[in-house]
Amino acid sequence: MDNAEDRRRLTTRLTVLRVSIGVAFGLLACGFWFFQVVHHGQFKAMAENNHQRTLTLRAPRGIIYDRTGKLLVENRNSFNISILREHSKDLDRTIRVLAAVTRVGERTVRDIVDRHRREPSYRPIVVVQDATLAQVAAVTARRLDFELPDVIVQEVPTRRYPDQDMAAHLIGYVGEASEEQLQSDGVTSGAMVGQFGVERVYNRLLMGEDGAKRVVVNSMGREIRTLEEVPPTQGRRVQLTINYAMQKAAEDALRNYGYNGSAVVLEPQSGEVLTLTSQPAFDPNAFAAGIDRATWSSLNTNKLRPLQNRAIQGRYSPGSTFKIVVATAALEEGAITPDHQVFCPGGGTFYGRFFQCLGKHGYMDLRHAIEKSCNTYFYTVGNMIGVDKMYKWAERLGLALKSGVDLPNEAESIVPSTEWKQRRFNERWYPGETISVAIGQGALSVTPMSMAVMMATVANGGTRVVPRLVKAQDDGSGWQPVPATPSPFPPFAMKPETLSAVRDGLWMVVNGAGTGRRAMIAGRDVTGKTGTAQVISLQGRDRARGKSEQDLRDHGWFVFMAPRDNPEIAGVVFAEHGEHGSSAAEVARHIIDTYFAQRDGQPLPVLTPPAPPAPPTPARVTAAATARPSSLDSARDALGIRRRAEAGRNSVASARRSLGPQSVAEPR
Amino acid sequence: MFERRLYHHVDWVLIGAVLAICAIGLAMIYSTAGGAGRVYWTQVYALGLGLIGMGIAASIDYRSLADKSHWIYLAIVILLIGVLFFGAVRGGSQRWLDLGYFNLQPSEFAKAALALMLAKMLGEERHSGLVKRDLLIAAVLTAVPFLIIARQPDLGTAVTLLPILFIVAYVAGMPMKYIYAGLVVAILAAPIAYRFGLQEYQRERISTFLDPAQDPKGAGYQQIQARITVGSGGILGKGFMAGTQGQLRFLPVAHNDFIFSVLAEEQGLVGVLAALGLYFFVIMRALDAARLAKDRLGAFLVLGVLASFTSQVIYNITMSAGLAPVKGLTLPLMSYGGSSMVATLVGFGLILNVRMRRFTN
């Protein structure tokens, strides 16, 4: 070294360097301690969040069968394409690329993303539901190129309804869980839950439990390996009370004869619903992976209202079928015996007004009055017992109030009473009103379901049943019966003479000189009653607006049970604009025929398409012209009889065949 | 040239510590590169080559080297200029000379060359202290390679030349008033430089460093990921090859710039302290060589080499913890990179050189 001063300075400055470096290393050690010890938990969580992704494994919903074990609803796998914003570096670009690749409008994609913007970023936003294979392939290819690291393709179980629109209103459909539904436990965002029908009511059974998969992903979002997998639990299998063959028969027959409307068939003892249809229907497959807006709005704006379940939401005037209630009430209240006779001169004057009957029936007892649907008889008997007794028995039979079937949004059937009128209109009941009510006119408004319950009550001897749709469920350990909810209606037995008289009358309607002959099946003892629900008087104003003739034709009812003794089935067919109950009767015939054929192991009946419309019948015109609105229903009933007489005295089968087309094509 | 008795003065402890660091680096490269692949073996070869270079650098008396330092300096400058014209372009910058079997990064060697040049220049001054003229010449000598490297552009490596100038000037007796003046100027100039002297992306890096959350997916991404990597390691780490951040590529260039983060993740605070300790030991041991050096030339040479090494180590480790703006700066001895490894070991060869010749004339 050159000199001592230099040496000293060097030593000093070396010491300064030494200390500086020491301090720097000390600070570094502190920094690492701070991150690795003090804030370790926080960074550990962030690291896991970085590379671990929890994917929801959607549980397949439970499979639904009919009572005979026929599959009604199953699942298929579909693909959802979603954006996982957590991994987005440039969301805008992702939206652009994804829209181009999947050929979905960029605006649409942006809207979807905007709608979910507030959700946590680790939750995938489903952009394309039920993607096509081409879309899946296109996205997957881009992912391999690391172009869309924040887009994932997930396989999800999706509902499949193999019979399309069959029993659509009953089975219902699924849809993305609403905000409200998300509140209930077990439902996560984006989950498909039941929104209608059995899918909705028994959602808890059908839903199952979603599983989860924790996977390791790399910085490009690609899955490296699975850390943990909790497999989803499929929803329970559910067996409905529905009989597939009968359900199909009902829908086929309605379509075959060209009617919209509804059919409900119950097992009278248990209240199990064997058939429940509403036409026109919709295809629940359209909802399975999220319905598109166009389909949804067309379903909603369709004038025929395919989303309405007419069986429980459509309310119509019961017409002559209400005579069953009047007859039962009069017999049970002891006002008359079955042999009580009334003379029918073609009508009767009550409270200073003439009420018409459609025929001059002469002396009639109850059985024949039912068979001929004689208005005079029921005016008289109804007047004897009064409206409140009629209401009492309407409720007891099941025609009034809600049936309590396990479907949502059931409408309440209305049968008037003095109390009802006071409550509803704050008005006194006028005895004259009773006369109209006695033949099913006036302020009566009932659902097909309540009609079916009424027939079930008559069929089982007096106990009003609560219709039910689910027979059994299976959580994987075997079928367990689903117990019926306790009925609010106590068991009841009507007098044997009441039952035999009413049943005899109804049997004669079909098998004698009545209006329901089209429902006759040799050896099956079908019993039933036709009815007509007026459309004109209710919607008279629509005529001025130029509604089509079809829209103004009356509705046809046919309520039935079979066989007469110890009935096994009871139900109703409602043929919208069917003009007359006999049109509904031919639909019912096919259902009943199918039931017995299946029960006895015979080949199921086949429908023959109706022949083209026949020319107008003069007799029909006359009848319509003479019929007053208040007794129109009976006019139709009478017409049925007359036609049948015209058809000749051949075999029943040939009569039915020859009459079928005429009825369908009834002109106005 | 290599006398037998010199052998006894070789600082085997320093060599051992250096090799230990290299071994840790190799292990981490093995881990992040997913086994003994091309990257790993390249590093092993570089280590072997570096040890040979170290031997050569230690064998030739540093005073003879210093006599030829201007030629070495000139050669490097020519190589650097050559890179500007013939260099291979990778990742947007031109730093490498493609020599067929391997790529040479002359800027790495510029550090040792500059240290040698400055040591010779300032160490052989007859007069005491440091005069303005010396400082000016030293600054110019530094500025030439600095500007060429910055043109590549590789500002990171260029900046590592500055500590060589400062430290050598400092120990050479730069008056304290210059140091204070320099500090004042630096503080005043920083905002101006930030505003006008930096590229947009460089400004962005600095501003995201101050608040990485403002752009967590962009420029702040690496910094946040670095902190997560380090922090999630905990005290004992996630285990060899079991890190998630590095293994799954959340951390970019894990085997390179962020190798220390990977060490922190997989070996935890224990591994970090061990590596920090080794580096600290190596630096202190080398400082000893400077203190013991026979002459000013030797002391300055050691300090020059050590200056770029130490500053790079401290900066890289700080950056690895997400505590400094991200720069493309490797961690000497550990990061993947052949030229860096060879150049660093050659530098240590010079340090060994000085130390083992402390008794010779």
Task: Flag whether residue A88 sits within 8 Å of chain B, measured between CB atoms.
Answer: yes
Which of A1, A6, A29 faces B276 most closely, judged by CB atoms?
A: A29
Q: Can you give the length of chain B in residues?
A: 361
Asked if B231's CB is within 8 angstroms of A50's CB, the reply is no
For residue A245, the model assigns a pLDDT of 94
Residues in chain B closer than 8 A to A47 (CB atoms): 228-229, 231-232, 244-245
Q: What is the pLDDT of residue A612?
A: 61
| A-chain residue closest to B245, CA distance | A47
Q: Which residues of B touch A29 (CB under 8 A)?
A: 272-273, 276
- Considering A393-402, A481-490, A611-620, the range whose residues carry the highest mean pLDDT is A393-402
Q: Where do the DSSP E strands lie in A381-524?
A: 470-474, 479-481
Q: Which helix (H) or strand (E) holds A462?
A: none
- In chain B, the residue whose alpha carbon lies closest to the alpha carbon of A88 is B217
**Any chain B CB within 8 A of the CB of A217?**
yes
**Closest chain B residue to A91, measured at CA:** B217
Query: Phi and psi at residue A76, in whole multiples of 5°?
Result: -130, 165
Comparing A642 with A285, the larger pLDDT belongs to A285
Percentage with pLDDT > 70 across chain A: 87
pLDDT tens digit string along B47-92?
A: 999 999 999 999 999 999 999 999 999 999 999 998 888 877 776 6
What are the backbone angles phi and psi of residue A354, rounded to the nearest 5°? Answer: -90, 130
B46 compared with A122, residue with greater pLDDT? B46
Helices (H), A2-132: 4-33, 40-51, 91-102, 106-115
List the domains of chain A with CATH numbers.
53-174+192-240 (3.90.1310.10), 257-272+308-465+485-600+617-645 (3.40.710.10)
Give the residue numbers spanning the domain of B351. 4-356
Residues of B in contact with A223 (CB under 8 A): none
Alpha-carbon dihedral angle through residues B282, B287, B293, B298, given to the nearest 10 degrees: 90
Residue B295: per-residue pLDDT: 87
B166: contact with A, CB 8 A cutoff: no
Position A662 pLDDT exceeds 80: no
**CB contact burial A333-344 (16+ within 10 A = b; e otherwise):** beebebebebeb
H or E stretch at A364: strand A362-364
Dihedral angle over CA of A218, A223, A228, A233, nearest 10: 150
Within-domain flag for B237: yes
- Using the Cβ of B69 and the Cβ atoms of chain A, whether some distance falls under 8 Å is answered with no
Chain B residue with minimum CA distance to A52: B244
DSSP A37: I
Beta carbons of A43 and B321 less than 8 Å apart: no
Length, in residues, of chain A = 668
Cα–Cα distances (Å) from A135 to A92, A99, A106, B175, in that order, read: 19, 10, 15, 73
CB proximity B250 to A under 8 Å? yes
Residues 215-234 of B with CB under 8 A from A: 217-218, 225, 227-234
What pLDDT shows up at residue A547? 55
Interface mutation target, options A1, A8, A35, A87, chain B, most CBs of B under 10 Å: A35
Looking at CA atoms only, how far is residue B49 from chain A in angstroms?
29
B321 vs A10: CB contact, 8 Å cut-off?
A: no
Q: Which helix (H) or strand (E) holds A225?
A: strand A223-230
Which residues are bridge partners to A265 per DSSP?
A275, A571
- Chain B nearest-CA distance from A28, in A, is 7
Strand partners, B89: B94
B244 and A89 in contact by Cβ < 8 A? no
List the A223-230 sheet strands across, edge first.
Answer: A52-57, A211-217, A223-230
Q: Least CB-CB distance to A10: which of B279, B299, B314?
A: B299
Contact B171 A14 (CB under 8 A): yes
Output the pLDDT for position B359: 81
**Among positive and negative, which fits the CA dihedral A239, A240, A243, A245?**
negative
Tell me: cis bond preceding A661? Omega within 30 of 0 counts: no
Contact list in A for residue B227 (CB cut-off 8 A) is 35, 43
**Residue of A9, A23, A27, A28 to mutate when probing chain B, most B C-beta within 10 A:** A28
pLDDT digits (tens, 9 = 90+) for A153-181: 888 889 999 998 899 999 999 988 887 77
Provide φ and ψ at A176, rounded to 5°.
Answer: -60, 140
Helices in chain B by DSSP H: which ranges?
12-32, 38-59, 62-67, 69-86, 106-123, 132-151, 155-159, 161-171, 176-192, 200-210, 221-233, 259-292, 296-320, 338-356
* A412, A401 Cβ separation under 8 angstroms: yes
Residue B226: closest CA among B316, B97, B341:
B316
B160 in a domain, yes or no?
yes
Task: Give A77 to chain B, closest Cα distance, Å.
Answer: 31
Which residue from B minimizes the CA distance to A45? B232
Q: Does B284 touch chain A (CB under 8 A)?
A: yes
Choose the weakest-confidence range: A63-72, A199-208, A482-491, B18-27.
Answer: A482-491
Q: What is the pLDDT of residue A621?
A: 37
Chain CA centroid to CA A230, Å: 34
Contact A605, A597 (CB under 8 A): yes
Quote the CA–CA distance of B148 and B154 in Å, as a whole number. 9
| Pairing of β B93-98 and β B103-104 | antiparallel
Count of domains observed in chain B: 1
| Average pLDDT rounded to a whole number, residues B86-102 | 72
The enclosing H or E element of A354 equals: strand A353-356
Task: Using CA atoms of B30, B31, B33, B34 in order, give the dihedral in degrees to the nearest 10.
Answer: 100
A548-562 mean pLDDT: 82
Residue scoring higher pLDDT (A497 or A553): A497
Q: What is the mean pLDDT of residues A275-282?
A: 92
Of A147-161, A265-279, A639-653, B186-200, least confident by mean pLDDT is: A639-653
Residue A484, φ and ψ in degrees, nearest 5: -70, 145
- Kindly state whether residue B279 falls inside one of the protein's structural domains: yes
How many CA atoms, within 13 angstroms, populate the side-chain half-sphere of residue B210?
5
Q: Is B230 in contact with A33 (Cβ distance < 8 A)?
A: no
Share of chain A above pLDDT 90, in %: 47
CB A505 within 8 Å of CB A528? no
When pLDDT is averaged across residues A14-35 and rounded to a whole number, the result is: 93
Q: Are A43 and B275 in contact (CB under 8 A)?
A: no
Over A498-522, what HEC string results? Answer: HHHHHHHHHHHHHHCCCCCHHHCCC
Number of separate helices (H) and strands (E) present in chain A: 27, 21
3-class state of residue A263 by DSSP: strand
Please give the model's pTM, rounded to 2 decimal places: 0.69
C-alpha–C-alpha distance, residues B32 and B30, integer Å: 6
**What is the token pair recorded at A397?**
């039979």
Q: Which of A6, A42, A217 sits opposite B128 (nearest CB)?
A: A6
* Model pLDDT, residue A595: 95
Max CA distance (Å), chain B? 62
> Across the interface, do B296 and A50 touch by the CB < 8 Å criterion?
no
A11 touches chain B (CB under 8 A): yes
pLDDT of residue A57: 86
Give the model's pLDDT for residue B140: 92
What is the C-alpha to C-alpha distance for residues A546 and A538, in angstroms, rounded to an integer? 15
Percentage with pLDDT > 90 across chain B: 40
Quick one: pLDDT at residue A116?
Answer: 83
Q: Across residues A312-321, what is the average pLDDT?
A: 92
pLDDT tens figures, A235-262: 999 999 999 999 999 999 999 999 999 9
pLDDT tens for residues A444-485? 999 999 999 999 999 999 899 999 999 999 988 899 998 888
The two tokens of residue A334 are 């002891």
What stretch of H or E contains A247? helix A244-256
Predicted local distance difference test score (pLDDT) of residue A623: 37
Structure-token pair, residue A340: 């009580």
Residue B183 — very low, low, confident or very high, per pLDDT cuts 50/70/90?
confident
Mean pLDDT of the region B196-216: 65
Residues forming a β-bridge with A155: A79
Assign A221 a pLDDT band (cuts: 50, 70, 90).
low
CB pairs under 8 A between A and B: 128
**Residue B181 maps to a domain:** yes
pLDDT > 60? residue B164: yes
Query: How far is it, in rounded angstroms, from Cα B183 to Cα A502?
Result: 114
Residues A88, B217: C-beta atoms closer than 8 Å: yes
Neighbour tally for A176: CB within 10 Å: 18
The minimal CB distance from A47 to the residues B126, B244, B290 is found for B244
Give a yes or no: residue B56 inside a domain: yes
Helices B338-356/B106-123 angle, 10° precision: 20
Name residues whose C-beta falls within 8 Å of residue B235's C-beta, 6 or more positions apart in sequence: A36, A37, A40, B268, B269, B270
Quote the CA–CA distance of B170 and B174 in Å, as a whole number.
5
H runs (alpha helix) in A52-195: 91-102, 106-115, 133-144, 168-171, 179-183
pLDDT of residue A368: 94
Distances, alpha carbon A316 to alpha carbons A423, A453, A554, B4, B229, in Å: 21, 15, 10, 119, 72
- The answer to whether the Cβ–Cβ distance between B248 and A218 falls below 8 Å is yes
| Alpha-carbon radius of gyration of chain B | 20
Cα end-to-end span (Å), chain A: 131
Q: Are A643 and A614 in contact (CB under 8 A)?
A: no
Residue A5 has pLDDT above 50, yes or no: yes
Q: If we measure between CA atoms, which residue out of B274, B251, B255 comes closest to residue B321?
A: B251
Interface check for B58 against chain A (CB to CB < 8 A): the answer is no
Interface with chain A: mutation pick from B131, B167, B232, B261, highest number of A CBs within 10 Å: B232
Q: Nearest by CB to B287, which of A14, A29, A46?
A: A14
Contacts of A285 (CB under 8 A, 6+ apart): A159, A160, A161, A164
* A649 or B143, greater pLDDT: B143
Whether A356 has its CB under 8 Å from any CB of chain B: the answer is: no
Q: Tell me what pLDDT residue A419 has.
A: 92
Residue B361 forms part of a structural domain: no
Express each pLDDT in A429-440 by its tens digit: 988 889 999 999
Judge whether B283 is closer than 8 Å to chain A, CB to CB. Answer: yes
Residues B221, B225, B231, CA angle at the centre, nearest 5°? 150
Rounded CA separation A382/A365 (Å): 14
Residue A363 in 3-state DSSP? strand
Distance between A86 CA and the closest CA of chain B, angstroms: 10
Inspect the interface and report whether the beta carbons of A216 and B229 lie closer than 8 Å: no
